[in-house]
Amino acid sequence: MTALLNIKALNAFYGQVQALHGLEFTLDEGSVTTLLGANGAGKTTTLRAICNMVRTTGAIEFDGAPLSSRSTENIVRLGIAHVPQGRGTFTTMTVEENLQLGAITRSKSGVAADIERMYAHFPVLKQRHTQQAGTLSGGEQQMLAVARALMLRPRLMLLDEPSFGLAPLIVRDLFKILGKINREDKVTILVVEQNAQLALEIADQAYVIETGRIVMSGRANEIADNEDVRRSYLGY
């Protein structure tokens, strides 16, 4: 399998504070990868580093080409969509306007069909298409944030704690849809999670990060069976 994203010796800094220390990992094209870790381990920073939103040294290659000299906007145009923690939908705009905005970097052709495709993935968004995003439930807003990111037609989608603050049933639904999007729309996914259980169920590959360093990596099912992982992240 070819690597879509290849990260080597990645360090990240907030001023004098170093948040990532020599991170190395790859994402196979078409795979789902999860990055697990406790609060403050550096998961969000890893996603921000890929999008060039934090100062880094080291190498990040997307489809064989270096990303580090590119602006965040340019990285989005290359096909990397970032769904940050806390959703970030435009709350005073309707669901449909949010989806249209997601396609802003593309040509107009196919946008209407893609919106219908998003409604097929997330029927609740169709029911609410004229409703202001700010009036949606937390789960619906998270679905809208994912759908909006997909409107870019990304090759890679970065998701930061999509389960945060959502009821367990909604989280299960959301992860099921993410698995479907990966299989049907061929989107490579990197999902950062504290809620490891579901992330490991849909993932092919997993990495565990502690204090800015990768401490474990492997197939998701092997990581799920690891005793330390079970104790620290799965709670059994």
The reply on whether position 220 binds ligand ATP by CB under 6 A is: no
The reply on whether position 163 binds ligand ATP by CB under 6 A is: no
For 14: left if phi > 0, alpha if psi spans -120 to 50, otherwise beta; the answer is beta
CB of 132 to ligand ATP, least distance (A): 28
**CA-to-CA separations, 155 to 51, 75, 89, 94, 168, in angstroms, rounded:** 14, 11, 21, 26, 28
Q: Quick one: which segment of 42-50, 146-154, 176-184, 198-206 binds ligand ATP (CB under 6 A)? A: 42-50
SS3 at position 30: coil
CB of 49 to ligand ATP, least distance (A): 9
Tell me, residue by residue from 43 to 82, as one string, x for binding to ligand ATP by CB under 6 A and - for no binding: xxx-------------------------------------
Q: Quick one: which segment of 1-9, 36-44, 63-71, 103-111 binds ligand ATP (CB under 6 A)? A: 36-44
The residues with which 158 forms a beta bridge, in sequence order, are 82, 190
Name which of 14 and 127 has its Cβ closer to ligand ATP.
14
Taking CB under 6 A as the criterion, which residues in 193-212 touch ligand ATP? 194
Q: Quick one: which segment of 32-40, 170-178, 183-191, 199-207 binds ligand ATP (CB under 6 A)? A: 32-40
- Phi/psi for 224 (5° steps) reads -65, -25
Q: Applying CB under 6 A, what is the total number of residues that bind ligand ATP?
A: 12
What gap in Å lies between CA 38 and CA 42, rounded to an integer? 9
The reply on whether position 37 binds ligand ATP by CB under 6 A is: yes
What gap in Å lies between CA 234 and CA 20, rounded to an integer? 24
Contacts 24+ apart (CB under 8 A), 166-175: 166/138, 166/139, 166/142, 167/139, 170/138, 170/139, 170/142, 171/195, 171/198, 172/198, 173/139, 174/139, 174/142, 174/143, 174/146, 175/199, 175/201, 175/202
The reply on whether position 16 binds ligand ATP by CB under 6 A is: no
**Selected binder of ligand ATP within 16, 17, 109, 236 (CB under 6 A):** 17
The reply on whether position 86 binds ligand ATP by CB under 6 A is: no
Interface with ligand ATP by CB under 6 A: which residues? 14, 17, 19, 37, 39-45, 194
